[in-house]
Amino acid sequence: MASLGVNIDHIANVRQARRTVEPDPVPMALLAELGGADGITVHLREDRRHIQDRDVDLLRQTVRTRLNLEMAATDEMISIALRVQPDMVTLVPERREEVSTEGGLDVSSQRADLTIKISSLQDAGIPVSLFVDPEKGQLQACRDCKARWVELHTGTYAESNWTDQPAELARLIEATALARSFGLRVNAGHGLTYQNVEPVACIDGMEELNIGHSIVARSLAVGLQQAVREMRSLVQNPRREPLFGSYPG
């Protein structure tokens, strides 16, 4: 059964909209844990548009589940990770002009560089996950770079319409099986919502789903603890009947 990593970047987005001190993502992470989060994820971006260095330092001291630090594979970020010692680093592509992470990392075109960076983190006891599209070539490259984990990009699945969603889900299922046959452990995330998460949570071999926007959005209506509780229940007890397509009958 998959576990739930809660991404709290959007809480910091609200704070940074006013460059003030509230809402503070650090105590909100504790609320997410009280709601059942199995881990907390933050993305420290090069431009510091939401999560700040101080958040990462404090979260390292306060998170009682697991802290997953998402970051670009830059020298600056590697040295921050080595100092902070998160429980996992997820390497993602980063472009300043993007609203959010737009696609998977192109691991195959930067194998040599990534291999060195991954080993510097893993040798320091920090497992590395690579955020990639569900494609065979990328998964082979992840294996070649000796990453321990991959996070499959679910954005295309999440954005597809009802007609295309079964095929996108099939790609995720196939990629999960392939990654595991390579000895990689598998997480997934991006764009997952209360409406589309269950089929992904049913994938055999899927270990953790990282979900942010949808949970933070729902928390405005029901509070963060309850929003996390509801999402975790879908992730842990997903309906197994087909959810796609037409109205019943």
* Interface positions with ligand PXP (CB under 6 A): 7, 9, 43, 70, 90, 92, 100-101, 131, 151, 189-192, 210-214
* Known catalytic membership, residue 135: no
Taking the complex as a whole, the smallest distance from the CB of residue 246 to ligand PXP amounts, in Å, to: 26
Residue 211 or 228: which CB sits closer to ligand PXP?
Answer: 211
Please pick, among 43, 50, 153, 208, the residue that the annotation labels catalytic. 43
* Known catalytic membership, residue 50: no
- Cα 75 to Cα 83: distance, rounded to the nearest angstrom: 12
Residue 95: Cβ within 10 Å count: 10
> Within 13 A of 173's CA, how many CA atoms are on the CB side?
10
194-45-127-60 Cα dihedral, nearest 10 degrees:
-90
Please pick, among 10, 33, 50, 70, the residue that the annotation labels catalytic. 70
For the four alpha carbons of 212, 213, 214 and 215, in that order, the dihedral sign comes to positive
Contact 99, 125 (CB under 8 A): no
Residue 205 or 247: which CB sits closer to ligand PXP?
Answer: 205
* Known catalytic membership, residue 102: no
Taking the complex as a whole, the smallest distance from the CB of residue 188 to ligand PXP amounts, in Å, to: 8
Residue 35 or 191: which CB sits closer to ligand PXP?
Answer: 191
Please pick, among 151, 190, 207, 208, the residue that the annotation labels catalytic. 190
CA-based R_g, the chain, Å: 17
Catalytic residues: 43, 70, 190
